[in-house]
A and B are shown apart, each in its own frame.
Chain A
Amino acid sequence: MTPTRPRSFQEIILRLQTYWGDKGCAVLQPYDMEVGAGTFHPATTLRALGSRPWAAAYVQPSRRPTDGRYGENPNRLQHYYQYQVLIKPSPPDLQELYLGSLAAIGIDASLHDIRFVEDDWESPTLGAWGLGWEVWCDGMEVSQFTYFQQVGGHDCDPVSGELTYGLERLAMYVLGIDHVMDMPFNDPQSPIPLTYGDIFRQTEEEYSRWNFDQADTAMLLKHFEDAEAECERILAAPAEDKAGRRIVMAHPAYDQCIKASHIFNLLDARGVISVTERQAYIGRVRALAKKCADAFVATEAGGGVAA
């Protein structure tokens, strides 16, 4: 049976949550830090490492300071939502599961043209890459579908399958909306109907100004250095704590790596990073990500220690 068409942005999110929950994923909450994409959530980056099985789905608010357009562009935002699914090992029917999720949000494969178009994924800051596709629906990219091969410089074994949905774009298509700010966030029949613009137009404007003109670059540069130093310090600490317990602090270190990555994005938006420096900064974040990955695979969750 074809499900009814959803009526709001949140209904699409809720349907994805229900769908992936029903398929056995742990429905997690967003990570409580500023990230550029759902992949940065430790539930993806770190959990894609090591041998222990994993299945998680979550919404992740994501920030890309350079994409800010003061809320004026119909499709571009500096703050947006990604829906992320990570299953390890990737099940043999992952494509079918994914197509089922499209059906759940009202995309009927008998009316639309859904295609898997080559798009290999690489994250230079995470030292990660994988092979897969961008999924097209009637010529529009609605998701990224990737089989992770390496994360933080480590081979993924087993391999995780990762799905990333750009929620605003997908929802605009399903709901037939031309400008993101016009999209109903809750049900338009609600006592207090709210559009995406009611919630985010002002914030887009505020953050665009801050990202492009106001962010204190000297302070950010210092924060970058601090996060980098703290990450390395945490990882250099002895594995045993003062009571002699073995506690490798992979996650706190990784938080600092996330922080450094986001600060780099902010500095980039402020235009203070030259082309050559850019590569050097990306290399520094990647070095942190690799060290965090090294640390994680030595932990229990990373499969390095028997549970």
Chain B
Amino acid sequence: MPDLLIELFSEEIPARMQARAREDLKKLVTDGLVEAGLTYAGAHSLSTPRRLVLAVEGLTAESRPVREERKGPAVGAPEAAVQGFLRSTGMMLEQLEAREGAKGKTWFAVIEKPGRSATSIVAEVLEATIRNFPWPKSMRWGAGSLRWVRPLHGVLCILTDEHGAEVVPLDVDGIRAGNVTRGHRFLAPDAFSVTGFEDYAAKLKRAKVMLDPELRAEHIWHDARNAAFAAGLELVEDKGLLAEVAGLVEWPVVLMGRIGEDFLGLPPEVLQTSMKEHQKFFSARNPKTGRIEAFVTVANTETADHGATILKGNQKVLSARLSDAKFFWENDLRTVAQEGMEGMAAGLANVTFHNKLGSQKDRIDRIEALAREIAPLVGAKPDLAAEAARVAKADLQSAMVGEFPELQGTMGVYYAKAAGLPEAVANACKAHYQPLGPSDEVPSEPVSVAVALADKIDTLTGFWAIDEKPTGSKDPFALRRAALGVIRLVLGNGVRLPLSHLIERGLLAHTPYMRSYAVHTGQQEYHDAADEIEFGRPVHLSDLLAFFHDRLKVHLRDEGIRHDVIDACLAMPGNDDLTLLVKRAEALAAFLKTDDGGNLIQGFKRANNILTQAEEKDGVEYSFGADPKFAEDASERTLFAALDAAEAAISPAMQAEDFATAMAAMAKLRAPIDAFFEAVQVNTDNAIVRRNRLNLLSRIRAICLSVADLTKIEG
């Protein structure tokens, strides 16, 4: 049972691609080996910036021989048939066997595939893997045609068993596999040979290469935390940065330095972002003050001066960067002090939001109007919501956000506070972008909720108005995320919102900009599209509402509510009120989980089927006039009484939107309906009794459908 070791040695692999590449290498090679008839006990892959490594343990030494028999045409069959058989089997006539059967002699081909050595299979699989590796971006180099993420320099490929190590013969575009690799680029650049994975890992460690990315990350985290701790600081956790840094070094050496006194007054987010984005530094915080006071950098080498030169260089670069940041911060503060947030926002009139939808200023005006309208529905003061909408995007014009776009919103909060705006208005600068994804926090401050809803509805209606809807995997304006954001804002805050009305307002607010675009470019279709919105059929409205419903289904499915339950509730009036819709769906889902619920659905369906068939056959609608006096059976009379009681209970409960009570009342119908179907036949010969029973079924249908469209329920 040999072990296989593969190392693909290249120039520096981008850190962000290494994790995926490890997985791909493992999968492609092991899948290929298994497909070729080998088995293995275990496999693991590792990487450094310069190497991708796969170790496979307990590989079978050769694949099993395969014997296959194929039946051909009869002996003496037409020549063409025999030739066809020979072609398909790749054999000569004299290799075939003629076997006696019940209907005479028949040709048989016995194809024997001998077992193949692991060596030749590995060579074949590895070459295919290298040639077809799914790098997100790959390149050519020199005069060759091979593609790899960066130039590939060496392939180490050996099979090791108790007799020793054997190089797998392989040549990919002139790169010949061997048993040789190199250590750290600067600390141990010489080549050395290896005999197996353990030998390889041990020698690499001596050659200043820490092979396992997780160990590198652990090592970095451990040393960095210790360094911070020794200085009375705590390290700011950042898993993404840690993984990235671990992918940039083969021999991590942690160095900590102090941030210059001049820069300690900068907001911690600014320090952290600048250090992370530009220099991939970790931040160390003073737990007493919350200020970020030091940085941790990870070098890829050991030096005689224990990193003093490296640290000094890094500190110098940091000072230059933070001087820029400080300049931006002070400039921005001066702007808001002199001109206020609205002064900072003034330039947004000259920034295009979308050429068919006007400038950022135009967009903000629309958001302001919508926010004002939404405010009372979410418990916010309209004036505050409007003010928040006016300043929420002002920081897009700040120097700091120009440099660090990811600080949008965060800076707005600082600047709005500096401008003396109310806390609720300042907070909306950041919160109105939220929730940014399915796991991001949902704002709950009323002013923030109003602006966040207005912002997202404006975006959605705008792109709907100009027909830039998401298609398939393409969603360049993140409209799915915006719709999910609206859903989560509404549900998370229990907001009652007439969404159709707001969509309509949103759509109408865009038409002036579409017309202006049409005038400037001569593209008449945008004029027509504006007409359609203002005077035509509300197709965009129903289409966008359906989009919300689709996103809601996805959202509720993640919460464990079946799609047919949602469909049953969507068919009811008021389905643009998402809170109501979900309340109904939740009640229905709970109802369906009860024994009575499941059985009532069966009873309802039976009633509905009989009724529908009868209505089709008779060409009339049975919807009125069931009378207890025509009841022949006790079960019928009981059902009449039960329906009366249910109606009396359901109607006020529905009025009060108390779906659980309504459905509990409906559940009481289960026994009488079951008993009714047990005892009587609806389609009797007596026409009067039959009509009465059909009308009775129609009452069942009406009651059930008043709660939700149960015909949509599956099963």
Residue ranges of A at the interface with B (Cβ–Cβ < 8 Å): 74-75, 89-92, 95, 109-118, 120, 130-133, 137-140, 147, 149, 156-159, 161, 173, 178, 274-276
Contact = CB atoms under 8 A, between A and B. Distances in A.
Contacts of A118: 12, 14-16
B12 A89 contact: no
A92 B153 contact: yes
Interface of B: 11-12, 14-16, 49, 137, 139-143, 149-151, 153, 186, 248-249, 279-281, 297, 299-301, 303-305, 307, 309-310, 312-314, 316-318, 320, 350-352, 355
Contact of A159 (B141, B303, B318, B350): B141
Contact of B304 (A110, A147, A149): A110
Given A137-B313, A173-B313, A159 B140 contact: yes
**Chain A CB within 10 Å — which of B137, B139, B305 has the most?**
B139
Contact of B320 (A75, A89, A95, A137): A75
Contact of A120 (B137, B312, B317): B137
A24 to B, nearest CB: 16
Contacts of A92: 142, 151, 153
Contacts of B303: 110-113
**Chain B CB within 10 Å — which of A120, A138, A275 has the most?**
A138
Nearest to A120: B137
A110 B313 contact: no
Given A110-B186, A276-B352, A276-B355, A138 B317 contact: yes
Contacts of A89: 141-143
A186 B352 CA distance: 48
**Chain A CB within 10 Å — which of B141, B150, B297, B350 has the most?**
B141
A275 B352 contact: yes
21 contacts: A75-B320, A89-B141, A89-B142, A89-B143, A109-B186, A110-B304, A111-B310, A112-B309, A113-B299, A113-B300, A118-B12, A131-B139, A131-B149, A138-B313, A140-B317, A149-B140, A157-B140, A159-B139, A159-B142, A159-B143, A161-B141
A112 B141 contact: no
A113 B300 CA distance: 6
Contact of A131 (B150, B279, B316, B317): B150
Given A112-B310, A116-B11, A159-B142, A139 B186 contact: no
Nearest to A119: B14
Would you call the interface of chain B mostly helix, strand, loop, or mixed?
loop
Contacts of A149: 139-140
Top 7 A-B pairs, shortest CB-CB distance: A138-B313, A118-B14, A116-B12, A139-B314, A158-B143, A113-B299, A89-B143
A117 B248 contact: yes
A7 B551 CA distance: 65
Contacts of A120: 137
Contact of A114 (B143, B149, B186): B186
Given A89-B142, A115-B248, A131-B139, A139 B279 contact: yes
A274 B353 CA distance: 12
A92 B153 CA distance: 8
Contacts of A138: 309-310, 312-314, 317
A200 to B, nearest CB: 19
B28 to A, nearest CB: 22
Contact of B318 (A90, A115, A139, A147): A139
A92 B148 CA distance: 14
B68 to A, nearest CB: 45
Contact of A113 (B14, B15, B143, B301): B301
Contacts of B316: 140, 173, 178
A147 B137 CA distance: 13
A13 B279 CA distance: 27
B11 A95 contact: yes
Given A131-B137, A138-B310, A274 B352 contact: yes
Contacts of A116: 11-12, 49
B624 to A, nearest CB: 64
Contacts of A140: 313-314, 316-317
Contacts of B297: 139
B299 A147 contact: no
A133 B299 contact: no
